[in-house]
Amino acid sequence: MGYTLVILGCGVMGQALLSAIYNAPKADSEEIAKLYPSTIITCNHDEPSAKQVDKLLATFDESPNAIKVSSTYGQNQDAIDKASVVILATKPFLVEKVLSGVQEQIKGKLIISLAAGWTIDQLTQYTEKVSRVMTNTPAKYGYGCAVVSHSSGINNDDKAIVSQLVSHVGKYIELPEKNMDAATALVGSGPAFVLLMIESLMESGIQMGIPLKESKECALKVLEGTVKMVEKSGEHPSVLKHQVCTPGGTTIAGLCVMEDKGVKSGIIRGVEEAAKVAAKLGKK
């Protein structure tokens, strides 16, 4: 019999985690099966949000690992009483209020926190077992990235549970907490930066007369194909970039203009700026 997992705040990210964990492929050994919850309780503040979760649940088939879910609102204390693991997924500015309301119930339990800017030091005031996670919205489709840091109170069994639950969002990467603000910018905000690139490529096609639908298809395939090429070749991107640059050709001409316009330094400075804002979040 597995444990009870609470998703405290089941909005965009909470629902992404819920989908990923509930629909995870059947665990093929008893040991792995032990790492899954038998029950998930989702907690929201009000009825409309709980109904959103019900709507999502109605789209699911039976869980391959026989996980049962109940969607609640206004019942944080009761839910956490029953749980041994809590995924904290409220907005950062609500974390203090929400955790203060369950102070007694959450002591000694494992918190997996998605809250941007909330440090392990701040969260260990509520329980010594804290895993801090930064993930992103592609997690909804299983193509997310999760950067994870653990408090000193986390043991190897806890780490195995965190890794099993969180790795379903896509890629799971452990890093020291000092890298978390950078990860918040690169991973959490990253999809918005890549969407800007996709939008720009699409609009370049439209500007030169390619219809919108085909411009979008071309931009997406260029992005997907380039990612696969970097992964499969194992080469540094600049090596692959130079392989495409014929002397005096089209690609180097385009790259020169982009360098003139500061595209590369604009991206680096933009991500850096996002990290500065992330560093201030938990202090608000």
Ligand X SMILES: NC(=O)c1ccc[n+]([C@@H]2O[C@H](COP(=O)([O-])OP(=O)(O)OC[C@H]3O[C@@H](n4cnc5c(N)ncnc54)[C@H](OP(=O)(O)O)[C@@H]3O)[C@@H](O)[C@H]2O)c1
Judge contact between 109 and 80, C-beta under 8 A: yes
Of 116, 60, 68, 65, the residue nearest 88 (C-alpha): 116
Query: Residue number with the shortest CB distance to ligand X?
Result: 11
Using the minimum distance from each CB to ligand X, give the nearer residue, 16 or 202: 16
Is 91 annotated for ligand binding?
Answer: yes
User: Are 197 and 224 within 8 A, CB to CB?
Assistant: no
- Contact between residue 36 and residue 24 where contact means Cβ atoms under 8 Å apart: yes
Is residue 278 annotated as involved in ligand binding? Answer: no
User: CB-wise, 125 or 155, nearer to ligand X?
Assistant: 125
Q: How far is the CB of 222 from ligand X (least distance, A)?
A: 24
Residue 65, marked binder: no
Residues making contact with ligand X (CB under 6 A)? 8-14, 43-46, 49, 76, 89-92, 94, 98, 114-116, 135-137, 188
Question: Toward ligand X, which CB reaches closer, 230 or 281?
Answer: 281
CB 111 within 8 A of CB 127: yes
Tell me the C-alpha distance between 277 and 198, whole Å: 24
Closest contact distance (angstroms) between CB of 91 and ligand X is: 5
Residue 46 CB, shortest distance to ligand X, in Å, is 4
CA distance 160 to 148: 12
DSSP 8-state symbol, 70: E
Which residues line the annotated binding site for NADP(+)?
Answer: 8-13, 89-92
Residues belonging to the binding site are 8-13, 76, 89-92
| Feature table: binding site for NADPH | 76
